[in-house]
Amino acid sequence: MSVVTRIGRFAPSPTGPLHFGSLVSAVASFLDSKQSAGQWLLRMEDIDPPREVPGAASQILTQLEAHGLLWDKTVLYQSDRMDSYIDALDQLKNNGLVYPCQCNRQRIVRLGGVYDGQCRGLQLQDDNATLRLCLGDNTQIQWFDDQIMGRVEQNLHSDVGDFAVRRRDGLFSYQLAVVVDDEFQGITHIMRGSDLLDSTSRQIFLQQCLGYRQPEYAHLPVALNRDRQKLSKQNHAASLVTGRESVNLWTALAWLQQRPPLALQRLEVGEILNWARSHWQSQAIYPSMPTSAPEGY
């Protein structure tokens, strides 16, 4: 039996259907995992009900299948993983790394989003409080070598401050859930949009606090709309059109600088992905490559 050494993942939030930007992340992480006989896992990040759109999770799965992006194992739903987040939070609490914070949103905005640790050491009640991870008194400079962006450095103290692991409304933060699940799923390689680049240092810090392994990271340039905003569900990016899957895949490959031959557009999605898998060059993706989404997306 061969040992799988590379495990990648795609982790959409069900806040709307797939658009060109999310297709690019799915295609890139799929090819990056599959070209070396690895696994590609799917995780539905459905732990923020106020932001979710009914039906979006199943629509995303249908769209991935239609594009031939078939995942290994069963889909992991974060909404089924609450016990694991509670355990991780307990571990952090037992190590004295978490404290309740009663500061309101306006105060955090006034601080420019970088929390100053005012509630640290106050021993406030847990209920209806934000739980923050204490960075400690030393300056926390994190760096990592991103496979596309190169060396990335962030000073967690001056750029982020003690950050939330559980929100005031009781929901677990994206940062905590993503780290717990990347460890649980044994993810070795994370390829995702560079809109998440400045979350990565927080995630590495959390991995260190929890004694987890650190995956390799690669952040893709994000596709921008005409107003130079990231294509996102919040910015009303258009859903991928059903029936145009081959063209969508071809366009995503071209956007990822993989130079797919034009004739590929007329093939079935499986054949396009076979070509893409055997020609995949992650080195072709440059941090500075053009970021405008292609016409029509």
Residues near ligand GLU (CB under 6 A): 11-13, 45, 178, 192, 196
Q: Which is nearer to ligand GLU, 25 or 258 (CB)?
A: 25
Helical H segments across the chain, by residue range: 20-34, 56-66, 82-94, 105-110, 156-159, 174-184, 200-210, 245-255, 269-279
**Cβ pair 272, 207 in contact under 8 A:** no
| Phi/psi at 113 (5° precision) | 85, -5
Q: Shortest Cβ distance from residue 234 to ligand GLU (Å)? A: 10
Nearer to ligand GLU, 73 or 110 (CB): 73
Provide the minimum distance between the beta carbon of 263 and ligand GLU in the complex, in angstroms, as a whole number: 33
Distance from C-alpha of 214 to C-alpha of 201, rounded to nearest angstrom:
11
Task: Tell me the closest approach of the beta carbon of residue 151 to ligand GLU, in angstroms.
Answer: 20
Nearer to ligand GLU, 233 or 246 (CB): 233
CA 219 to each of CA 68, 150, 184, 253, 287: distance values in angstroms, whole numbers, following the listed order: 23, 10, 21, 16, 8
Distance in angstroms (rounded) separating the CA atoms of residues 230 and 233: 9
Of 20 and 275, nearer to ligand GLU (C-beta) is 20
CB of 252 to ligand GLU, least distance (A): 16
Compute the Cα dihedral for 115, 121, 124, 125 and give only its sign.
Answer: positive
Note whether 91 and 100 are within 8 A (CB): no
SS3 145: strand
Q: Which is nearer to ligand GLU, 43 or 166 (CB)?
A: 43
Give the 3-state DSSP-derived string for 3-26, with helices as H, strands as E and coil as C.
Answer: CCCCEEEECCCCCCCCCHHHHHHH
CA dihedral 42, 233, 84, 121 (to 10 degrees): 150
Residue with smaller CB distance to ligand GLU, 101 or 206: 206
Cβ(43)–Cβ(185) under 8 Å? yes
Please report how close the Cβ of residue 23 comes to ligand GLU at its closest, in angstroms: 12
Looking at the Cβ atoms of 101 and 148, the one nearer to ligand GLU is: 148
Cβ of residue 178: shortest distance to ligand GLU, in angstroms? 5
- Minimum distance from CB of 67 to ligand GLU (Å)? 17
